[in-house]
Amino acid sequence: MMRIGLWVFAAALAFSAQGFAAAPQAVPQSMGQAQLSFAPVVRRVAPAVVNVYSRTIVRQQVNPLFNDPLFQQFFGVSPQFRQRVQQSLGSGVIVRADGVILTNNHVVEGGQDIVVALADKREFKAKVLLADSKTDLAVLKIDTHGEKLPTVEFGDSDRLEVGDLVLAIGDPFGVGQTVTMGIVSALARTQVSASDYQFFIQTDAAINPGNSGGALVTEDGKLAGINTAIYSRTGQYAGIGFAIPANLARRVVDGALGGGGALHFAWIGASGQPVTTDIARAMGLPRPTGVLLKNIYPGGPAAAAGIHTGDVIESVDGVEVDDMQGLNYRIATHKPGDTVKVHLLSSGGKARDAGVRLALPPENPPRQLSLIAGRNPLTGAKIENLSPAVATDLQLDAMAHGVVVAAVANNSIAAEQGFQPGDIVKSLNGASITSVGQLKNALETSGGRWDMVVDRGGQRLTLSVGQ
């Protein structure tokens, strides 16, 4: 079975002076043309591609046998641990001359010491301005003491076309900065990761472990994407790599520099499913395209624009969308308050346009984030009321309601019971759970018996625990 490994890849996209694929491409007509080189582009861009080292100190158990309670009781020993330094290597791209660097979240996630090494071998300690797991992007800042660093300019990733030439720049396997060339193999790949905002550029430019966070650049050196994952059976290059489009990366950088320490994406207030051939036939649509809306949030942006359940969003700002990931991506590249033009289809193929003024997802009801204590199956878990804002943070259905597990402490009772962030507690001892206060009271007054129903990704799970 194939697996996706989160490793480096960078690629460069054909980009004329007017934009991606602004002019038709041509094959070489002479030996002189065939000997043209990307060297001038590489000389300009390569100094802005850096190495990112993330160091984490982890506790490692010396002997797993010591965890056995019977062994501990019989021999009078306790679990023994030792500290081990775990280091990850990735790449990054300088996007502002004052030391703002874009990389992957998985490169720095959990890192206690993050070091950026420039192309001239100087090293700087980096501060994380923003790390966002939803997009797998992170924004770092190094102190340049007023020195202006080389940068890579953002390009417009929406102008990419399949077949455009690309260059990948990064540090595979830590061997040193490496440049590879390929083409854009595909666009709008949405089945690569579990993120609600997945919308990847696919390339065959050679990328390998160590290139994560590197630059996917165009023929004239503009940033087309941030390399994020490869598709491989072995964990090494197999001709299929994925990059996060520059338009989303730019939005993340803007959010990081805006302050607040968190990234807040715009929201359309609707959810749906891809239009299949059967759905298109039943609705009398000319072809299976777009997102069929199943839920509209009352008073949300879509509702305010006159969009209804059963409508099909075929495109946003003239760009077709085929699933919720693609729709979420198009919305996420805008800021709250922006107005987007959506093209809608209804039963019978009737078409219309609507202007949707985007907003932040509301936090209603209030979160009431609470840590569960005492002695019950949820001890050590943080819970909160579900709202569109919370659901967006946890990448759940924005229309979900109830009480959700936001985090689970390591080695806690909740962790031992198998609870995970995103679990929605539906009922306890036969009573429906609708609020944090209700769940906390039910846990405390259960009489030592907890029969729970939990929703995990649409699946119904049950848990019965007694003292």
Q: Is the pLDDT of residue 444 over 80?
A: yes
Q: Is the pLDDT of residue 197 over 80?
A: no
Q: Is the pLDDT of residue 193 over 90?
A: no
Q: Please indicate whether residue 263 or residue 292 has the higher confidence score (pLDDT).
A: 292
- How is the chain split into domains, by residue range? 1-22+39-67+81-263, 270-357, 370-466
The second-level CATH assignment, the architecture, of 270-357 is: Roll (2.30)
**Residue range 42-51: average pLDDT?**
93
Q: Is the pLDDT of residue 64 over 90?
A: no
What is the pLDDT at residue 238?
A: 73
Number of alpha carbons in the 13 Å side-chain half-sphere of residue 218: 26
Q: Please indicate whether residue 86 or residue 236 has the higher confidence score (pLDDT).
A: 236
What is the pLDDT at residue 8?
A: 33
Q: Secondary structure of the chain in the HEC alphabet? A: CCEEECCCCCCCCCEECCEECCCCCCCCCCHHHHCCCCHHHHHHHHHHEEEEEEEEEEEEECCHHHHCHHHHHHHCCCCCEEEEEEEEEEEEEEEECCCEEEEEHHHHCCCCEEEEECCCCCEEEEEEEEEECCCCEEEEEECCCCCCCCCCCECCHHHCCCCCEEEEEECHHHCCCEEEEEEEEEEEECCCCCCCCCCEEEECCCCCCCCCCCEEECCCCCEEEEEEEEEECCCCCCCCEEEEEHHHHHHHHHHHHCCCCCCCCCECCEEEEECCHHHHHHHCCCCCCCEEEEEECCCCHHHHCCCCCCCEEEEECCEECCCHHHHHHHHHCCCCCCEEEEEEECHHHCEEEEEEECECCCCCCCCCCEECCCCCCCCCEEEEECCHHHHHHCCCCCCCCCEEEEEECCCCHHHHCCCCCCCEEEEECCEECCCHHHHHHHHHCCCCEEEEEEEECCEEEEEEEEC
**Residue range 428-443: average pLDDT?**
93
pLDDT band per the 50, 70, 90 thresholds, residue 68: low
pLDDT band per the 50, 70, 90 thresholds, residue 20: very low
- The CATH classification of domain 1-22+39-67+81-263, taken from the options 2.40.10.120, 2.60.40.10, 3.40.50.880, 3.30.930.10: 2.40.10.120
Q: What is the pLDDT of residues 217-242, one digit of tens each?
A: 988 889 999 998 777 666 666 788 89
Q: What is the pTM of this model?
A: 0.76
Q: Please indicate whether residue 69 or residue 454 has the higher confidence score (pLDDT).
A: 454
Catalytically active residues, by annotation? 106, 136, 212
Give the CATH class of 370-466. Answer: mainly beta
Mean pLDDT computed over every residue of the chain:
84
Query: Distance (Å, rounded) from C-alpha 254 to C-alpha 194?
Result: 24
**Residue range 249-274: average pLDDT?**
86
pLDDT band per the 50, 70, 90 thresholds, residue 446: confident
Q: Is the pLDDT of residue 403 over 90?
A: yes
CATH topology agreement for domains 1-22+39-67+81-263 and 270-357: no
What is the pLDDT at residue 10?
A: 32
For the chain, what percent of residues have pLDDT higher than 70?
Answer: 82
Q: Is the pLDDT of residue 245 over 90?
A: yes
Q: Is the pLDDT of residue 253 over 60?
A: yes
Q: What is the pLDDT of residues 125-165, one digit of tens each?
A: 999 999 988 889 999 999 999 999 999 999 998 888 898 89
What is the pLDDT at residue 465?
A: 85
